[in-house]
Amino acid sequence: MRMVDIIHAKRSGSELTDDQLQFFVDGVVSGEIPDYQTSALLMAIYFQGMTDREQSTLTMKMMESGDHLDLSAIPGVKVDKHSTGGVGDKVSIPLAAVVASLGIPVPMISGRGLGHTGGTLDKLEAIPGYQVEISEQEFIDQVTKDKCAIIGATGNIAPADKKIYALRDVTDTVDSIPLIAGSIMSKKIASGTDALIIDVKTGSGAFMKTLDDSRNLAKALVGIGKGVGMQCMAMITDMNQPLGNAIGNALEIKESIELLKNNGPHDLVELTTTIGGYMAVMGKVASTPEDGKQMCQEVIENGQALASFKKMIADQHGNETVVDDPDKVLPQAKYQIELPAKVTGVVSKIVADEVGIASMLLGGGRQKADDKLDYSVGIYLHHKIGDAIQSGESLLTIYSNRENVDDIKQLLYDNIEISDSASAPTLIYETIE
């Protein structure tokens, strides 16, 4: 079999056979298929799509490309959550601690930033010492003892995804339903979780820009999960503006801690506790999502979720005093530059992907696969869609390690609108079960 024939078949719109998909995944993992041929096939899949059969076969082959974690030693229903990726989407970080403090084991396997979106692992690595790569046994022990761990797809979990993910990030082939479905579900099936909730983002800052595409992705993800016997559901949520106020790795850790101190921004709290409510039902500690949401709110208010978060950071070798004094422990940018509103009115548009790109250009995200991140940089929005603002008042603060950020200011001015009136967008559109 030749890779060039597989590329040709997909480029021409043919359905790939199981053997062709196996050959591709094997070749990616062994390194026999060079990156340029993998990238060419990814681009062909991007344009031609995949049938349901190809999509689930690709997922299973990627999942089988590595180890399968056996979490059966951890008592209880193991519940994980994943997001398809957004800007300012730090939900997984406080959520793991919130749900763990309800007594539900949360073995969370997360990813890095992709395209203009941030990644949970990159954010956690802003905490000095935090290890996202721990051994399988340490992972199992930590989830058994403290109920949560957030790690990367370590060692040999879906190694095919690791390579494909990095190439998609730099070849603009991220926003493809079969590639996202294969990437997420191969890792989640291999990670051995019993139940999974997927936050499918929709809008300008999401990989799926329309509700229809997001619904199709949600159905593909849930279909694959249920097909292997996993308890699986998806929630389609808004990404037409960044989530919360902070964008950037260290800034997002600080905002996550604020949420756990019962002082988080409204949209972030609402989404975290709503998803947590569903996880509480999946984990069999609540009978309805509403009851579960209430329980989540309680562990935030009584400090139990914050204590769980501190414990998780310590377990994963991070400096847990970040919880007590985030500014002292997290890396700080040299410059804080305000962006004043040019007119008086109501914020009516914040193009989320461009705000993500602005943060990436400051050094908070990768432009090339091997770029080193600057954890301290980012953007803090003082106003969101629907908020009134006076001319001259600060719209946002740019955290930067370079003094001249004229390019970033222009990019942000071009992508934030102030009009006479606007209201906050819907946060949660629908659930797919």
DSSP alpha helix (H) spans, 16-153:
18-30, 35-48, 52-64, 92-100, 120-124, 136-146
Q: Is 92 one of the annotated active-site residues of the chain?
A: no
Instruction: Please give the Cα distance from 416 to 354 (Å, whole number).
Output: 9
Single out the catalytic residue among 78, 162, 168, 188.
168
Q: Which of 184, 251, 295, 398 binds ligand URA (CB under 6 A)?
A: 184
Which CB atom, from 174 or from 280, has the smaller least distance to ligand URA?
174
Question: 263 is written with which tokens?
Answer: 């002082």
Q: Which of 20, 22, 101, 183 binds ligand URA (CB under 6 A)?
A: 183
**Shortest Cβ 400–ligand URA spacing (Å):** 27
Q: Is 187 one of the annotated active-site residues of the chain?
A: yes
3 state DSSP class of 93: helix
- Let me know how long the chain is: 433
Question: Is residue 114 close enough to count as binding ligand URA by CB under 6 A?
Answer: yes
Which CB atom, from 366 or from 383, has the smaller least distance to ligand URA?
366
DSSP alpha helix (H) spans, 266-363:
266-282, 289-301, 304-315, 326-329, 352-359
Which CB atom, from 109 or from 305, has the smaller least distance to ligand URA?
109
CA atoms within 13 A on the CB side of 410: 5
**Shortest Cβ 39–ligand URA spacing (Å):** 15
Residue number with the smallest Cβ distance to ligand URA: 183
Q: Is 183 one of the annotated active-site residues of the chain?
A: yes
DSSP 317-339: T--GGGGT-HHHHS---SEEEEE
Around Cβ 7, how many Cβ atoms within 10 Å?
20
Instruction: Please give the Cα distance from 149 to 311 (Å, whole number).
Output: 10
Site for ligand URA in 51-110 (CB under 6 A): 84-85
Which CB atom, from 191 or from 316, has the smaller least distance to ligand URA?
191
Which CB atom, from 114 or from 396, has the smaller least distance to ligand URA?
114
Which CB atom, from 85 or from 292, has the smaller least distance to ligand URA?
85
Q: Which helix (H) or strand (E) holds 378?
A: strand 378-381
Contact mark string toward ligand URA, 381..410, x via CB under 6 A: ------------------------------
**Shortest Cβ 195–ligand URA spacing (Å):** 17
Q: Is 168 one of the annotated active-site residues of the chain?
A: yes
Around Cβ 390, how many Cβ atoms within 10 Å?
10
Instruction: Please give the Cα distance from 102 to 348 (Å, whole number).
Output: 38
**Shortest Cβ 161–ligand URA spacing (Å):** 7
Nearest in space to 394 (alpha carbons), one of 336, 340, 343: 340
**Shortest Cβ 353–ligand URA spacing (Å):** 14
Tell me which residues are annotated as active site: 82, 161, 168, 183, 187
Q: Using CB under 6 A, list all residues that contact ligand URA.
A: 84-85, 111, 114, 180, 183-184
